């Protein structure tokens, strides 16, 4: 079967990073939060490997495609930006202390920390020191714990901030570029100039960090040639160690969707998305990069754990302790989402600021590793893990029979070159009909 003779009729990019999926019907009261945290105190997690994620949801400007929870700092006037970020930092340090009473660091092995956004680099040096310092004091991090700090070009290249990040043990710095093409950048509301991007990459690299940039494909007006040029500039001129490559997801709240009468005619056709991804994978291979998961590529030696932990790791159940407004985590067998900023900032709460909770039923527990295997590009569930459902196993066998995945002599199932182009469609097959309805409500 060829990639251009597609195995699925629908190739929509889906936000399958969290499972079980949360929606408004999972809103909870404080008694449910207490039951959840009590259960965490009393039981061993299904997997000790843990990612600690912190969401810093502030931005200076909003990009037209961005579907993440983010707010303009100016939305909170009359609070000044500095006051807002100070308030956020004290709410966060309180949340960290709150979780410390629930999570035993002797049980949860925190292998990776990701401080993402939004724009964490808007925080002042004092804010950053308070945040990472509190994490280190409360969680007694392992010496080899990787720490990624995400930022935006205009604020992450500040030499003083980079030096503070280095001193605090941050190992990797990530920022969004999306595309280098000036008119595509303008159309998508991307404000940093190419000079600012280049200067930022130089400073971050020279300060001794691994450098990750985010690139996107499927943006309005971004054709194949523009995209291939984007890859080449990132690798050859910015000399990044790592690229996160995102297919554009059309969330209902983004400009690309709400103003679709303007943008939809400019979106590349579906086959173009397949071609872009296929050539990108070939390009990275020829440059000696390793494909770690469906959407990240690294130079050898720059491997990291964060994405694998998000996608459940080997057991399908690695843990995500998420903090910050609207952050989504997975503890025990339960997904949770935090309150949004308006509820989060007052910080007079006595328990984690959770808005939604959903505990997996047996079907969801059993199928989690299968749902994430296309993203991880492999399924190597250890024997002691939960047996997938018979329906899940049958879908897996069908995917193998179609050439989307291959079982190797050691029993590991790996996505094939064809499968790598269809990961979201492969994952979606394992969702129950009601979960499919939920996820397709999140995208257009």
Ligand X SMILES: C[S@@+](CC[C@H](N)C(=O)[O-])C[C@H]1O[C@@H](n2cnc3c(N)ncnc32)[C@H](O)[C@@H]1O
- Residues forming contacts to ligand X in the complex (CB under 6 A) are 65-68, 117-119, 150, 152, 175-176, 178, 214, 216, 246, 248-249, 251, 254
Q: Which does 246 bind (CB under 5 to 8 A by kind): ligand SF4, ligand X, none?
A: ligand X
The single residue among 62, 107, 126, 394 that binds ligand SF4, judged by CB under 6 A, is: 62
To which residue do tokens 């690139």 refer? Answer: 215
Rounded to the nearest whole angstrom, what is the least distance from the CB of residue 246 to ligand X in the complex?
Answer: 3
Q: Which is nearer to ligand X, 252 or 382 (CB)?
A: 252
How far apart CA 252 and CA 217 sit, in angstroms, is 18
Please, is 195 exposed, middle or buried when counting C-beta atoms within 10 Å of its C-beta (0-12, 13-18, 19+)?
A: exposed
- Residue whose Cβ sits closest to ligand SF4: 66
Q: Which does 62 bind (CB under 5 to 8 A by kind): ligand SF4, ligand X, none?
A: ligand SF4
Pair type for strands 210-217 and 172-178: parallel
- Could you give phi then psi for residue 129, rounded to 5 degrees? -65, -40
Q: Which is nearer to ligand X, 36 or 175 (CB)?
A: 175
CA atoms within 13 A on the CB side of 90: 10
Q: Which is nearer to ligand SF4, 161 or 275 (CB)?
A: 161
Q: Which does 248 bind (CB under 5 to 8 A by kind): ligand X, ligand SF4, none?
A: ligand X
How far apart CA 407 and CA 415 sit, in angstroms, is 9
Stated as kind and residue range, the H or E segment containing 186 is helix 182-187
How far apart CA 383 and CA 170 sit, in angstroms, is 35
The token duo for 310 is: 């998000």
Is residue 72 involved in binding ligand SF4 (CB under 6 A)?
no
Which of 59-67, 323-331, 354-362, 365-373 is the region at the interface with ligand SF4 (rule: CB under 6 A)?
59-67
Q: DSSP label at 235?
A: I
Q: Residues in contact with ligand SF4, total (CB under 6 A)?
A: 11
How far CA 121 is from CA of 135, 209, 381, in Å, comes to 17, 15, 37
112-151 residues near ligand SF4, rule: CB under 6 A: 117-119
Which of 19-27, 63-71, 223-231, 336-344 is the region at the interface with ligand SF4 (rule: CB under 6 A)?
63-71
Is residue 179 involved in binding ligand SF4 (CB under 6 A)?
no
Is residue 70 involved in binding ligand SF4 (CB under 6 A)?
yes
Q: Which is nearer to ligand SF4, 176 or 273 (CB)?
A: 176
DSSP readout, 57-104? -EESS--TT--SS-EEGGGGTTS-HHHHHHHHHHHHHHHHHHHHTT--
The token duo for 361 is: 């039923």
Which of 47-55, 61-69, 138-146, 372-380 is the region at the interface with ligand SF4 (rule: CB under 6 A)?
61-69
In the complex, the residues that contact ligand SF4 under the rule CB under 6 A are 59, 62-63, 66, 68, 70, 117-119, 152, 176
């Amino acid at each position: 079967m060829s990639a251009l003779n597609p195995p699925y009729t629908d190739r929509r990019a889906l936000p399958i990073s969290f499972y079980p999926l949360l929606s408004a019907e999972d809103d909870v009261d404080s008694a449910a939060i207490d039951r959840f945290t009590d259960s965490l105190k009393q039981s061993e997690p299904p997997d000790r490997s843990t990612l600690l994620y912190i969401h810093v949801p502030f931005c200076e400007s909003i990009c037209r495609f961005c579907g993440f929870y983010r707010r303009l700092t100016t939305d909170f006037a009359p609070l000044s930006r500095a006051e807002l970020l100070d308030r956020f930092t004290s709410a966060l340090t309180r949340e960290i202390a709150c979780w410390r009473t629930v999570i035993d660091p002797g049980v949860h092995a925190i292998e990776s920390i990701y401080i993402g956004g939004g724009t964490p680099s808007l925080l002042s040096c004092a804010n950053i020191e308070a945040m990472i310092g509190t994490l280190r004091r409360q969680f007694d991090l392992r010496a080899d714990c990787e720490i990624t700090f995400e930022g935006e070009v205009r604020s992450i290249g500040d030499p003083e901030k980079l030096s503070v990040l280095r001193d605090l043990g941050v190992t990797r710095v990530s920022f969004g570029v999306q595309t280098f093409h000036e008119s595509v950048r303008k159309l998508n509301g991307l404000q940093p100039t190419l000079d600012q991007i280049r200067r930022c990459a130089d400073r971050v690299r020279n300060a001794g960090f691994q450098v990750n940039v985010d690139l996107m494909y499927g943006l309005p007006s971004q054709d194949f040639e523009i995209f291939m040029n984007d890859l080449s500039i990132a690798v050859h001129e910015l000399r990044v160690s790592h690229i996160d490559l995102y297919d554009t997801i059309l969330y209902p709240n983004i400009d690309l969707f709400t103003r679709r009468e303007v943008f939809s005619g400019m979106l590349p056709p579906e086959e173009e998305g397949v071609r872009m991804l296929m050539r990108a994978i070939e390009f990275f291979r020829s440059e000696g990069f390793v494909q770690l998961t469906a959407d990240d590529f690294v130079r050898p030696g720059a491997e990291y754990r964060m994405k694998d932990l998000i996608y459940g790791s080997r057991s399908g159940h690695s843990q995500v302790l998420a903090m910050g407004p609207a952050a989504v985590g997975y503890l025990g067998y339960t997904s949770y989402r935090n309150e949004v900023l308006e509820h989060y900032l007052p910080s007079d709460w006595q328990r984690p600021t959770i808005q939604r909770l959903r505990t997996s039923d047996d079907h969801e527990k059993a199928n989690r590793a299968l749902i994430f295997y296309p993203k991880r590009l492999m399924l190597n569930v250890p024997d002691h893990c939960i047996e997938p459902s018979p329906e899940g196993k049958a879908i897996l066998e069908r995917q193998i029979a179609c050439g989307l995945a291959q079982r190797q002599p050691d029993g590991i199932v790996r996505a094939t070159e064809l499968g790598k182009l269809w990961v979201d469609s492969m994952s979606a097959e394992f969702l129950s009909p009601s979960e499919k309805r939920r996820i397709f409500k999140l995208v257009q």
